[in-house]
């Protein structure tokens, strides 16, 4: 009986010195990666490094889109999410999510481009024309380009007609003259030029650098766990970023990026202003077609 008591006491003592975080699991999503297969492919190496250095078990939480991610966090099914600045504004309004670290993207800004040999020579020339944007509600493909046009005195939906088509379709429409300009970010312009080597395009307008992507924590996550995740990003950021960009494709947009701790809600007021530029004053829903 005494031996059994000693054994039980020893197990209890050992359990008491184990870090609580080692037994915890955090549920992690990425708003612009749809499906578990894609999430595991694109962020599997990142997950391994994060688990190794944080002592936390990371469980991927696949979402079909940003709306589903917000709803999952609001329902307390999701703990952490990697998302963009436009999405953050809605997360914040709906869930009181807290920024953990900024996830920087070098050269993250919007542009408005036209055919170099076309009739459009200035932003003012776009009045009365059709302008194509990328994903609706995107910081860099929609809100940012719309702000560029607003700053040039062109009101959204009144002084020009906004349409939304895929980049490859937009390029063909631009060639045919069906649209006058395309709003997009630098990464997408580079991809467009790579896919169309004989097509000369000119940048008519460039927006300010956009706020960073960021890791958000649900309001239900304990401060201890949030602190552990933040410390891991700050102390092992190089290794985490190396794991992310080791996967070729869309992750390459983060190449050269770093993680920054001093991120606040005020940093995203510029995005709220961009929402207002396209006629949105309430931030609890994403813009839909």
Residue extents of the structural domains in the chain: 23-106+211-277, 109-209
Residue 282 neighbours by CB under 8 Å, 6+ apart = 93
Rounded Cα–Cα distance for residues 64 and 48 (Å): 23
For domain 23-106+211-277, the CATH architecture is 3-Layer(aba) Sandwich (3.40)
**Bridge partners (DSSP) listed for residue 266:** none
| Among 131, 273, 278, 130, CA closest to 287 | 278
The Cα-based distances of 47 to 42, 204, 219 in angstroms read 10, 40, 22
Same fold? 23-106+211-277, 109-209: yes
Can you say whether the dihedral through the CA atoms of 31, 262, 24, 218 is positive or negative? negative
Question: Which residues have C-beta within 8 Å of that of residue 266, sequence separation ≥ 6?
Answer: none
Q: What are phi and psi of 179, to 5 degrees?
A: -130, 160
pTM (two decimals): 0.82
Walking along the chain (289 residues) 10 residues at a time, the average pLDDT comes out as: 39 38 79 93 97 97 93 96 95 94 93 96 98 93 96 97 94 96 94 92 96 95 96 96 93 91 92 93 82
Q: What's the fold here for domain 109-209? A: D-Maltodextrin-Binding Protein; domain 2 (3.40.190)
Q: E strands of the chain, at which residues?
A: 25-30, 57-60, 80-83, 98-103, 109-115, 130-133, 161-164, 181-185, 201-209, 213-217, 259-260
How many Cα atoms occupy the beta-carbon half-sphere of 172 within 13 Å? 4
């Amino acid at each position: 009986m005494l031996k059994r008591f000693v054994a039980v006491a020893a197990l209890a003592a050992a359990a008491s010195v184990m870090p609580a975080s080692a037994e915890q699991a955090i549920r992690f999503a990425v708003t612009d990666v749809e499906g578990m297969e894609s999430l595991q492919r694109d962020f599997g190496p990142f997950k391994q490094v994060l688990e190794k250095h944080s002592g936390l078990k990371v469980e991927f939480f696949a979402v079909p889109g940003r709306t589903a991610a917000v709803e999952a966090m609001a329902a307390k099914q999701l703990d952490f999410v990697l998302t963009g600045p436009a999405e953050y504004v809605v997360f914040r309004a709906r869930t009181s999510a807290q920024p953990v670290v900024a996830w920087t993207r070098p050269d993250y800004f919007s542009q408005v481009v036209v055919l170099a040999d076309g009739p459009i020579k200035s932003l003012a020339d776009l009045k009365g024309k059709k302008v194509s944007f990328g994903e609706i509600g995107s910081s860099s493909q929609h809100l940012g380009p719309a702000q560029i046009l607003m700053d040039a005195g062109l009101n959204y939906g009144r002084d020009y007609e906004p349409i939304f088509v895929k980049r490859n379709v937009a390029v063909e429409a631009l060639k045919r003259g069906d649209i006058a300009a395309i709003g997009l970010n630098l990464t997408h312009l580079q991809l467009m030029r790579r896919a169309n080597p004989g097509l000369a395009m000119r940048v008519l307008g460039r927006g300010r650098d956009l706020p960073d992507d960021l890791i958000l924590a649900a309001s239900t996550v304990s401060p201890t766990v949030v602190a552990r995740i933040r410390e891991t990003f700050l102390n092992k950021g190089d290794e985490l970023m190396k794991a992310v960009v080791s996967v070729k494709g869309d992750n390459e947009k983060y190449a050269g990026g770093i993680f920054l701790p001093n991120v606040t809600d005020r940093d995203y007021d510029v995005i709220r202003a961009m929402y207002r530029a396209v006629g949105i004053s309430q931030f609890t829903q994403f813009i839909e077609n």
